[in-house]
Chain A
Amino acid sequence: MKQEYIITVFSENHIGLLSRITIIFTRRKINIDSLTVSESAIAGIFKFTIVINETADRIQKVVGQLEKVVDVLKVFANTNDEMIYQEIALYKVSTEFLFESDKVEKIVRNSGARILELTREYVVIEKTGHSDETQHLFDELNVFGVTQFIRSGRVALTRSTIERLSEFLRERDALLEQVD
């Protein structure tokens, strides 16, 4: 059965690595629903957070093939309930709706969103949350007309206290010594 997985790829920061990672999904015709690249808490090590909808079996095989990439250090696959995650969404609506009634203001207030910028023509609203929440706000605002919309890739952390990679790096050093 397919379900949403968050794949976290820890890697060196090398040119072209993004392609090396995405072609592994492309080869199996797996669509990437969301992708975020950022530095991790460990200097020099980058983190790709990839959201895909797949079966556990295929996830396991993809993880194995991702870990084969020379510049990849370690890959984790988690279900949504194993991680704390957020996405950020920005919405642009015409300012006139804000003044016509208090409906837009109430929607913003009730959804925990905030207004980032207010001009004579438009207002930009920001909301952080899971995609169903940011989607819900979109639907509500779109009654008035959302003229621009963007949702970021997912950012996610585990519930452990440290970056999971720290432990891995220590183990890896020991393994590399052993192989010599």
Chain B
Amino acid sequence: MATQRISGSEAVIKSLLEEGVDTIFGYPGGAIMPIYDALYDYDQQVTHYLTRHEQGAIHAAEGYAKVTGKVGVCFATSGPGATNLITGLADALIDSIPLVCITGQVASPLLGTDAFQESDVMGITMPVTKWNYQITSADEIPEAIAKAFHIAHTGRPGPVLIDIAKDAQFGQFDFEYKKCTKIRSYLPEHPVDPFQVKAAADLINNAKKPIVLFGHGVILAHAEDEFKEFLEKTGIPAAWTLLGLSALPSNHPLNVGMLGMHGNYGPNIKTNEADVVISIGMRFDDRVTGKVAAYARQAKIVHLEIDPAEINKIIKADAPVLGNAKKSLRMLIDNVNPNTHTAWLEEFHVCDKIEYDKVISHDVYPKKIGLTMGEVVRIASEKTNNDAILVTDVGQQQMIASRYFKFNQSRSNVTSGGLGTMGYGLPAAMGAKIGRPNREVFAMVGDGGFQMTIQELGTISQYEIGVKVIVLNNNFLGMVRQWQQLFFEKRYSFTEMKNPDFVGIAKAYGLASQKVTSRDQLEGAIQEMIDHKGPYVLEVVVEQEDNVFPMIPTGASISDIILEP
């Protein structure tokens, strides 16, 4: 490839183009101005979205990455621009989201001098990135960006940050781009060991009451087809973690529901009755396991996992299978016997019936006067034939939406799992809609989380991003209030909110909007929102003090899941 003499700034844009980037979320400022100036000439190749806050940019990049499987890219300036990315970086690290974030930095002679808008971005971002690197000379740019993309999307994905000093952005050099495919110190994934697969298959073939627990790893490895084939061959019931949601269609006969604190009754109690637990691309988060000492003690554990540090971290694996889930599953399929577990699966259905009668029916077909979050979720899902992308914020609406929204296709659930980042929903939904413009995208947010990043309505309005925002308004920080009710004697310490007129705010941003307060308006309003071309904000006033059940109280065993207060 011929070289050409260009500026560092132009090299940044050209490098991104070489990596196939066509979408950037960002916010300019002093130290990144040369890069933005270079970007100005590339508006045909790259679409840049100016968010209203850097946190909005990074969450949008996360939403974009989750639905497309591509690396999300965002720009921010030095100092406060970079520090505003921290929450998003931490979120992407714990949820394994591939991101490349580029931050401007003061000119290299000023590093360490407390210059205007200087902060130690390398130091601050180290604990919340998979890798970070500071560029002080233009000629480092192509190699660093190539390395950034390789690291961000291979192995267990994660966020990478490249900090570029202003003088490096101005510097001229002979540009040449070479993709990075190998780093000596970095093994993205272990080749799958046939002996490990054999040991896992032996346990699976001899199991009488096996259960599969699947997570984000299935989606990240693009292993949905292999996963389904494995389930159908073995006939094993499968339950999902929050981030595994949508990897298996909701109506699949072996899909037995959600694990964990607000998950379904069956998969939780049956994990403690199974003889073999097969966990695939999940990491036994404490919200899934409850009390670890009382978790699946009776079972042999098979653990398919790409990250060696996750094996035996929380739960000791009897048969670990290290490697990429797609490859592990392919080999496992060839080693397992065709089987069915009809009687065992029936036990889950018995649990489903109990949960339906005690919880679900009241949530999704309520008889009381006040609206429930559950019925809103059910109607939104039904009216889009379960084909929509669901983006949730964090809290009660997240749990309710994850429980009751139905999915036909993978990469359709976008949520902040590990970090539990309030304010994630709205900007992540923008990114999801930009990544999948032809699909319906719902942002399901509470009144609390919505107001943490509500300024992104400006971005939605400016670029006419057709997100359908459903604000489930109970005038409370609902999940905290629920805990206060159940565990802190109803002492509602600072959880009640006086909210603004959300419809008024939406309209001020030039967005179509409506407020619903009663059941007879609900279906019509949701239909109207779906029929509307372009963004829409629907506020639904729901029951103030509804709780999410079932629930595993903190520190309790999954067997002690409670169905009602």
CB of B187 within 8 A of CB of A61, answer no
Q: Specify which chain A residues have a CB less than 8 angstroms from the CB of B187 in the assembled complex.
A: 172, 175-176, 179
Which A residues between 86 and 128 are near B, CB-CB below 8 angstroms?
A: none
CA distance A7 to B131 in the complex (A): 22
CB of B191 within 8 A of CB of A16, answer no
Q: Mark B118-140, 1 if CB is under 8 A from A, else 0.
A: 00001100110011101000000
| Nearest A-chain residue to B156, judged by Cβ | A68
Q: Specify which chain A residues have a CB less than 8 angstroms from the CB of B181 in the assembled complex.
A: 180
Tell me the smallest distance from the CB of B122 to a CB of chain A, in Å.
6
Tell me the smallest distance from the CB of B363 to a CB of chain A, in Å.
39
Q: Specify which chain A residues have a CB less than 8 angstroms from the CB of B182 in the assembled complex.
A: 176
Given the known inter-chain contacts A61-B313, A64-B313, please indicate yes or no for A23 contacting B131, CB distance below 8 A: no
CB of B185 within 8 A of CB of A73, answer yes
Residue A6, interface by CB 8 Å: no
Given the known inter-chain contacts A16-B126, A23-B126, A70-B151, please indicate yes or no for A64 contacting B185, CB distance below 8 A: no
CA distance A65 to B127 in the complex (A): 12
CA distance A36 to B235 in the complex (A): 54
| Interface bin, chain A | 20 to 34
| Nearest B-chain residue to A180, judged by Cβ | B181
CB of A68 within 8 A of CB of B151, answer no
CA distance A84 to B132 in the complex (A): 35
CB of A178 within 8 A of CB of B191, answer yes
| Nearest A-chain residue to B123, judged by Cβ | A19
Tell me the smallest distance from the CB of B343 to a CB of chain A, in Å.
38
Q: Specify which chain A residues have a CB less than 8 angstroms from the CB of B130 in the assembled complex.
A: 70
Size of B's binding interface in residues, CB under 8 A: 25
CB of A70 within 8 A of CB of B191, answer no
Which A residues between 1 and 31 are near B, CB-CB below 8 angstroms?
A: 11-12, 15-16, 19-20, 23, 27
CA distance A23 to B308 in the complex (A): 19
CB of B186 within 8 A of CB of A175, answer no
Given the known inter-chain contacts A61-B313, A65-B309, A178-B191, please indicate yes or no for A73 contacting B123, CB distance below 8 A: no
The listed residue with most B CB atoms (<10 A of its CB), out of A12, A68, A175, is A68
CB of B307 within 8 A of CB of A175, answer no
Residue A140, interface by CB 8 Å: no
| Nearest A-chain residue to B147, judged by Cβ | A70
CB of A175 within 8 A of CB of B191, answer yes
Tell me the smallest distance from the CB of A21 to a CB of chain B, in Å.
10
Residue B183, interface by CB 8 Å: yes
CA distance A61 to B132 in the complex (A): 23
Residue B184, interface by CB 8 Å: yes
Residue A60, interface by CB 8 Å: yes
Tell me the smallest distance from the CB of A92 to a CB of chain B, in Å.
34
Residue B188, interface by CB 8 Å: yes
Residue B5, interface by CB 8 Å: no
Tell me the smallest distance from the CB of A65 to a CB of chain B, in Å.
5
Q: Specify which chain A residues have a CB less than 8 angstroms from the CB of B131 in the assembled complex.
A: 70-71
CA distance A179 to B187 in the complex (A): 9
Residue B440, interface by CB 8 Å: no
CB of A23 within 8 A of CB of B127, answer yes
CA distance A179 to B186 in the complex (A): 12
Residue A72, interface by CB 8 Å: yes
Q: Specify which chain B residues have a CB less than 8 angstroms from the CB of A12 in the assembled complex.
A: 184-185
CB of B185 within 8 A of CB of A71, answer yes
Q: Specify which chain B residues have a CB less than 8 angstroms from the CB of A172 in the assembled complex.
A: 184, 187
CA distance A64 to B322 in the complex (A): 13
Q: Specify which chain A residues have a CB less than 8 angstroms from the CB of B186 in the assembled complex.
A: 70-71
CB of B183 within 8 A of CB of A60, answer no
| Nearest A-chain residue to B182, judged by Cβ | A176
Q: Specify which chain A residues have a CB less than 8 angstroms from the CB of B122 in the assembled complex.
A: 16
Given the known inter-chain contacts A11-B185, A179-B191, please indicate yes or no for A61 contacting B127, CB distance below 8 A: no
Which A residues between 148 and 180 are near B, CB-CB below 8 angstroms?
A: 169, 172-173, 175-176, 178-180
Q: Specify which chain A residues have a CB less than 8 angstroms from the CB of B123 in the assembled complex.
A: 16, 19
CA distance A15 to B132 in the complex (A): 11
16 chain-A/chain-B pairs, Cβ below 8 angstroms: A12-B185, A15-B134, A16-B123, A16-B134, A19-B123, A20-B126, A23-B126, A27-B127, A64-B308, A64-B309, A65-B309, A70-B130, A70-B186, A71-B131, A169-B184, A179-B188
Which of A's residues lie within 8 Å of B, judged by CB? 11-12, 15-16, 19-20, 23, 27, 60-61, 64-65, 67-68, 70-73, 169, 172-173, 175-176, 178-180
Which of B's residues lie within 8 Å of A, judged by CB? 122-123, 126-127, 130-132, 134, 151, 181-191, 307-309, 312-313
Interface contacts beyond A16-B132, A61-B309: sample of 15 additional A-B pairs, CB < 8 Å, sorted by A: A12-B184, A19-B123, A23-B126, A23-B127, A27-B127, A60-B312, A64-B309, A64-B313, A67-B309, A68-B308, A70-B183, A70-B185, A175-B190, A175-B191, A179-B189
